[in-house]
Amino acid sequence: MTTTLPASAEAAPGPLAFPPDFRWGVATASYQIEGAAAEDGRTPSIWDTFSRVPGAVVGGDTGDVACDHYHRMADDVRLMAGLGVGWYRFSVAWPRVRPDGGAPNPAGIGFYDRLVDELLTHDVSPWLTLYHWDLPQALEDAGGWTVRDTADRFVEYAVTLHEALGDRVPVWTTLNEPWCSAFLGYTSGRHAPGRQEGAAGLRAAHHLLLAHGLAATELRARGADTLGVTLNFTVADPADPEDPADVDAARRVDALHNRMFLEPIRHGEYPADLLADTEHLGWTEVVRDGDLAAISATPIDVLGVNYYHGDSVSARPAADPGGPSPFPGLDRLSMPLRDLPRTAMGWEVQPEGLTRLLLRLHDEHPGLPLVVTENGAAYDDEVGPDGEVDDPERLAYLDAHLRAVHAARAGGADVRGYFAWSFLDNFEWAEGYAKRFGIVHVDYDTQVRTPKSSARWFSDVARTGRLPDRSQ
């Protein structure tokens, strides 16, 4: 929704400093980098299955090999440590740890045990995400996130990992971007498992939230100190602020994209306007007595904020909607582009939106620490004749968004860290290997890693806590 920035929160172009305790990190996800898809007891995930559906992923790519991180983990950690980052946000592959959603797999657990030890040896703190979209295919075959049992299986999985790693991992995140899991996976079908079933996304969203609540309570009881969830937010602005239909469309997107997930976790209730908007879809039949209390029972200690761009929202339908809408009940919605730069993904570059978002979260949820857990951009990188990769557009993107974070802090927002997405070029979901987000280039034929100019810049920023002058 539209928010006006106070003068104190306008991004400054000159040199800027962050506090000494600000957390600097990089982030990845298991299916996007690990490879080793059928090794050491790992069974298929929904992404293994989905990527084999003709036309689902650009180029017919799969994550079978990805960045081969499973075999190159120690070298990758050394590379990461060499960049001077203090934190690594990674996710764990559920089908590696509990194949088919069943019994624990010692070989799979052992990989993450070694990863955590390697990180700590190199003075990099592990930030663990339990779920970054790779649901075991066997659980999807039983109904996936549209059925309640998946939430119970998630708790078993969380307990298994905490028993193995709880003595060394300081921060535990339950879910990454449940909006994507629910609505891209079960409503629009753009992501795994590829279901286009409208209200199924709402039922999946509820069970994802229930899984968060049940797992958070269990992890807290077992001694986890810092618990969080990571949500992908948008800043939904009406395309025409004078058009009541556009204003209402932006409100609906805000309800389905932002408030549907955060308000149950924080306040134990779904937004009243969301319930009214979606009443005709009949999805609340899956909400049982006590569910919302369970979702909010264990307060989160940190909110992970993923931000890439905002959205211009119109009630006027697009000429070419490009498939089912990811918003249940909003098939006539469109998101017209504005006069803003765009990344290789076609996403608008809107750093001031991040400032507005962080200030809004601070105002609406006072006392809740915020960390930007994903922010980055895909561009068409090229390896130069000297073997180097110069990526000035990505460097400028990171710089602008870090200035936006600094501006939000100046405006009072309690933002305590920033994780660049992504550490490595990787399997970019439905885009396969066609889009590169990494600050480290990966040659997928040779698996050679080459830090880009953005990596060297980010390394200096992380080591010093300072943004150099960009005004000249």
Give yes or no: 177 in active site: yes
Q: Which of 376, 349, 370 is nearest to 358 (CA)?
A: 370
Three-state SS at 137? helix
Gyration radius (Cα) of the chain, Å = 21
Does an H or E element contain 355, and which? helix 351-364
Q: Rounded to whole angstroms, how far apart are CA atoms 32 and 442?
A: 12
| Residue recorded with tokens 């980098």 | 33
The Cα 85–Cα 438 span in angstroms is 15
Which residues, other chains included, contact 383 with Cβ-Cβ below 8 Å and sequence gap of 6+?
389, 441, 443, 450
Set 118, 263, 352, 374: catalytic member: 374
List phi, psi (to 5°) of 17: -120, 140
Closest CA to 355 of 407, 306, 419: 407
Structure tokens belonging to residue 268: 């134990």
Q: Is 10 a catalytic residue?
A: no
* Sign for the pseudo-dihedral over CA of 117, 123, 125, 126: negative
Amino acid at the residue 457: W
Q: How far apart are the C-alpha atoms of 449 and 2, rounded to whole Å?
A: 41
Q: Where are the alpha helices (DSSP H) in 101-259?
A: 106-121, 137-141, 149-165, 178-179, 185-186, 200-221, 244-254
Burial 415-426, CB ≥16 within 10 A → b, else e:
bbbbbbbbbbbb
Task: Using alpha carbons only, give the angle 90, 433, 70 rounded to the nearest 5 degrees.
Answer: 40
Q: What is the DSSP string of 403-467?
A: HHHHHHHHTT--EEEEEEE-SB----GGGTTS----SEEE-TTT--EEE-HHHHHHHHHHHH-EE
Selecting among 177, 263, 348, 352, the annotated active-site residue is 177
Helix H, strand E, coil C: the string for 282-325 is CHHHHCCCCHHHHHHCCCCCEEEEECCCCEEEECCCCCCCCCCC
Q: Give the list of residues 6+ apart from residue 100 with CB closer than 8 angstroms, or none.
A: 43, 136, 137, 138, 139
What phi and psi, each to the nearest 5 degrees, are found at residue 376?
Answer: 175, -175
Quote the tokens at residue 331: 């098939």
Select from 440, 435, 426 the least CA-distant residue to 31: 426
User: Annotated active-site positions, please?
Assistant: 177, 374
